[in-house]
Amino acid sequence: MSDEASLLAANAAYYRAFIEGDIDRMSALWGEDDVACIHPGWPALIGREAVLASYRDILRNPMQEPIVRRNERALVSGADGRVLCVEVVGGAALVATNWFRFTGGAWRLVHHQASPLAVVPAETPPERPRSLH
Amino acid sequence: MSDEASLLAANAAYYRAFIEGDIDRMSALWGEDDVACIHPGWPALIGREAVLASYRDILRNPMQEPIVRRNERALVSGADGRVLCVEVVGGAALVATNWFRFTGGAWRLVHHQASPLAVVPAETPPERPRSLH
């Protein structure tokens, strides 16, 4: 897989773990060091322990709306890979940054921030990694 | 200067350029490649040209409220440095990620995202870089 394709696969795994409420998978996706997370409306959480505690609460919450990702854009720069995408949650749209670092043979999350969009954007076709033509 | 101190100085320069409406200084602070920016409510902007065009519009806007930064936290990992901070704009509070990459002897912005906070947080004292004791 190209860097972009593997990065997009890691991003898909993040949303699958979210949708399935799989905290073990979510934990494995997050890096060990230098991690930070900003959920919509929340202050910044810094450090693996605080970040995973927040996901434990969110994934256990029975009122949590399902989340659908779309309009993914991948930006790879060396061992750093960002995916910018739209999250549709309960009729509202957010724009998310999922920042991964390639370490130990896998893309691990080091940063997530999601913020509300003023306008729900049109859906765009899935991005085709450039190296696949 | 330590890495954290120089990173916080770059972050201060970003807000100074914003407050002073200095588009030349803002342009110099942003990196050349792999840049992305998510202003509050906006979709993701990708690429230097789109990002700087957005700042040109924002900095020229006479209705733009002054912006005050506080509660800065610096995370340095090799050539990557993130500052998470609170932006107070017209009575509302946002949480911002300013992601810099150290290149050509300077910290250059590669990513900015600001999203509204549900609660305006208390002000914390300025962070003292650990290496200064």
pLDDT at A132: 43
Does residue A63 belong to the interface with chain B, where contact is any CB pair within 8 Å?
no
H or E element at residue A71: strand A67-77
pLDDT in tens, B33-67: 999 999 999 999 999 999 999 999 999 988 888 89
Q: How far is A111 from A104, CA to CA, in rounded Å?
A: 17
The residue ranking higher by pLDDT, A129 or B100, is B100
How much is the ipTM here?
0.90
| Topology (CATH) of B3-132 | Nuclear Transport Factor 2; Chain: A, (3.10.450)
H or E element at residue A121: none
pLDDT at B129: 55
pLDDT at B53: 98
Low-confidence ranges of chain A (pLDDT < 50): 131-133
CB contact under 8 A, A44 and B73: yes
Residues of chain B positioned with their CB less than 8 A from the CB of A75: 34, 36, 46
The residue ranking higher by pLDDT, B119 or B42, is B42
Residues of chain A positioned with their CB less than 8 A from the CB of B102: none
CATH class label, A3-118? alpha beta
pLDDT in tens, B89-99: 988 999 999 99
pLDDT at A91: 84
Q: How far is A86 from A119, CA to CA, in rounded Å?
A: 11
% of chain A with per-residue pLDDT over 70: 94
pLDDT in tens, B23-36: 999 999 999 999 99
**Contacts with A91 (C-beta within 8 Å, 6 or more apart), sequence order:** none
pLDDT in tens, B105-118: 999 999 999 999 98
Q: What is the dihedral of CA B128, B11, A76, B58, to 10 degrees?
A: 150
Helix, strand, coil share of chain B (percent; to 5): 30, 40, 30
pTM: 0.92
